[in-house]
Structure 1
Amino acid sequence: MAAVQVIRSEWTKIRSVASTVWTLSLAVVVTLALGTLLSALTRNQFQDMPLRERLTFDPVVISFAGMALGQLALIVFGVLVVSNEYSTGMIRVSLAAVPRRGTFLFTKVAVAGALALAVGMATSFATFFLGQAMLGPLGARIGDPGVLRAVIGGGLYMMLIALFSMGVAAMLRSPMLSLGILMPFFFLISNILANVDATKRIGRYLPDQAGSRIMQVVPGLGDDTPYGPWGGLGIMALWVAAALAGGYAVLRKRDA
């Protein structure tokens, strides 16, 4: 099958499955709604915040507060894009049509990744502008130092979360098992490891903790993180590459 046909096939699979469309829509809505709400609440309560928090106040990070929940929808999207074919048995038909498994997997990753990037960028810019509008005089402008980088980085972060989830799903080949590992890892375990003194040095190198640095403009007091915004995103990209390589290795060696 020609490359163009494979791309069209993967695009048709994604847009014809209602669950993948709904998860992307949910990622947009949750990120925008929560970011806007928290920005409005922060503006009203700013004068009551402790001095330390006011000194390190980052209006960009506040507008991206909804990303923590929005990324969960991107995780579901990435898992479903890969594992739906396993759960329905369509994977046999797909691999018969595209016997080169590397072409099959990485075309799927490219199509889903492009879609996640488009949605992520649109969401990142929208949540930034809405959040800054709610913050009013406390807000930042897109031309301020580091702000455009943070907003673009927010879109890249959302794409990388989806790609990482696709790699894990390709390794595990089960939607329930993949979500059962990824959801608690990103929602609970990662935050605990990154905020407990005994494990903080390890936790800062986890994919979401490292990648989210790209959205930070104002560093915290006493921040000793040994990498910068782009370095953190690079660490996250390495995690994604490792997950996709693992997914390809499993797909190549195991029967459908």
Structure 2
Amino acid sequence: MLTLDSISIRYERKEVVHNVSFSVKQGEVVSIIGPNGSGKSTILKAITGFISSHTGTITFEQKEIQQYTTKQIAQNICMLSQKNQAPNDMLVKDLVAYGRYPHKKWFERLNHEDQDIVHWSLEKTHLADYKDRMLASLSGGEAQRAWIAMALAQRPKLLLLDEPTTYLDIAHQHEVLELVRELNEDMGITVMMVLHDLNQASRYSNHLIVVQNGRKIMEGTPNQVMTSDMLRDVYNMEAEVVSMSKEEAPRIHLLNTIRQK
């Protein structure tokens, strides 16, 4: 579905992503992990076409991303950032309705089909009872679900989530990631996430990509990637990795930071 081939990305004169290549299969949940400043979010932005790659190619459904119009990208790919912004007095149902506009002509009104999709998106994200509430009145987890409902109304083939659990308490983090898993399993939406919590990445992903200093270090299943050696080399942490079976996601217990000599 998606292939990055030898992607290098510059901000001004500094190269922040170096020769990164990987592929994402349809129906997968893929998480990019790595220390702060590794280029994880930059890679997601490049996939959407928001920033241009310095070298290399990004192919979505066998067509280079540069060949898509902005509207075509919006019809197929949706990206939610760490902290999304909308007017505080906007109603939940109005935010979700914005997901339909990439499929409409200029100034074209939403029709009954669009309204049905909006209602379905609210139901799917368990927000039907919140549709007439203002966004500012929602909790962090509820607000994140509202943005995911908007993405769902957009009907994307690929959903990009940049640190979707940031600023949320543990219960709401679990709630949001369970929703993402539900959308993937029930609807077949392909998901790419940037996650900092390693146990969340291990539990909710089919495939992991590890980046450090703008370079891909390794990739594979959670059992292949989550090793004591990787955590030592990439995160400078001593850790215990517990894996009961190949089918069960490994659990990571961070022990202590390795002192630099």
For the superposition of Structure 1 and Structure 2, which TM-score range results when normalised by the shorter chain? under 0.3
Which has the larger strand fraction? 2
Which has the larger helix fraction? 1
